Amino acid sequence: MTALAAVSVHLPEEVTSITPYLADVGLSPAQIKLYHRFYGFSRLRLAPSESITELMLAAAKGLDALRGRENHVRYLVQAKTIQLAAPYPRNPLHEVREALGLDHAIAFSLTQHACASGLLAVDLCGKLLAADGDPDALALILLGEKAFTPSAQLIADSAIMGEGMAAVLVTASGERDRLIGYATRTHGEYHTGPFLSPELMATFDRLYAPALAEVILAAVGRAGLEMSDVDLVLPHNVNQMSWLRVAKSIGLPRDRILLDNLPELGHCFCADSFINYRTAIEGGRLHRGAHYVMTSVGLGATFAAMVFRH
């Protein structure tokens, strides 16, 4: 059974207020106030002097469970939102593979589900490892990106992008953090993502909360659970207003959604749920046997949820 063997997080040291950040993107003071008061954002962590290669390495080197087991890593995967983020012929993932001494590992990227590609990567790596049949084999997934252009810094009326990173070791079996339910659905009519027409944007806004609620309930059902069995939701860090709508629709108490990092880190592409996992562990919010849900929504529009038993 697919399980998370370890999760490590790297947060850049530079803390930036969203006010000048959004002003540089071209938002008015009134629009910026909306992101503060209603969407719940306040600060971001950015790494202007660090490359994506350096950020991925920093996250991976925080994995104590990887040390001495590098030869067991069969797959090295970068789960991405942005398809093209480095000039040819550079390949940051191959640079990471070389720096970590993982030349024997198969390296590839996933982008098909945009910000939900991280959950897709966990599911896919678990299946690949199970098919290989080596009980000691591991997959290393790297999540998070550089917000290097205005279009990568902001999702209009939804989220502000930060540069926090996560590294995840996946195994085909494990005693803790077992994957017990996964659901995903793509609404292809919204495939143009941030470039939707005003009419499609309006219908997507109405779809968002019900569609996310649908995959959460589906994942929980596939795990053989009810929402009352869910101890914690580890969300993607989009605006708090949308989360309040989702929570109300599925009967989830507000205090079971870990939104602590939303105002401090912003939306860190595919890394959010895994960053929130570390926060939950360090804060003692997950006890042995607890059930938690990771969620994400990728522009395009893919909605995804995963249920784990800690």
Give the C-alpha separation, 212 to 232, whole Å: 16
Give the C-alpha separation, 173 to 126, whole Å: 8
Sign of CA dihedral 214, 219, 220, 222: positive
The answer to whether the beta carbons of residues 32 and 18 sit under 8 Å apart is yes
Which single residue is written with the structure tokens 């966990």? Answer: 122
**Which regions in the chain score pLDDT beneath 70?**
none
pLDDT tens-digit readout, 120-158: 999 999 999 999 999 999 999 999 999 988 888 998 888
| Apex 219 CA angle, 213 and 224, nearest 5 | 125
The answer to whether the beta carbons of residues 25 and 41 sit under 8 Å apart is no
C-alpha dihedral, 97 to 103 to 108 to 114, nearest 10°:
-20
Greatest extent of the chain over all pairs of C-alpha atoms, in Å: 57
What's the pLDDT at 193? 85
Q: Is 186 exposed, middle or buried (0-12, 13-18, 19+ CB in 10 A)?
A: middle
**Sheet of 73-79: strands edge to edge?**
106-110, 73-79, 138-143, 165-171, 3-10, 178-186, 302-309, 291-298, 232-234
What's the pLDDT at 162? 96
What's the pLDDT at 243? 93
What's the pLDDT at 84? 81
**Quick count: other Cβ atoms within 10 Å of Cβ 70?**
14
What's the pLDDT at 22? 94
Give the C-alpha separation, 20 to 32, whole Å: 9
CB within 8 Å of 89: residues ≥ 6 apart = none
* Residue type (1 letter), 181: G
What's the pLDDT at 126? 97
Give the C-alpha separation, 61 to 146, whole Å: 18
What's the pLDDT at 304? 98
DSSP code of 172?
A: S
Grouping H, G, I as helix, E, B as strand and the rest as coil, residue 200 is helix
Which single residue is written with the structure tokens 């789960």? Answer: 79
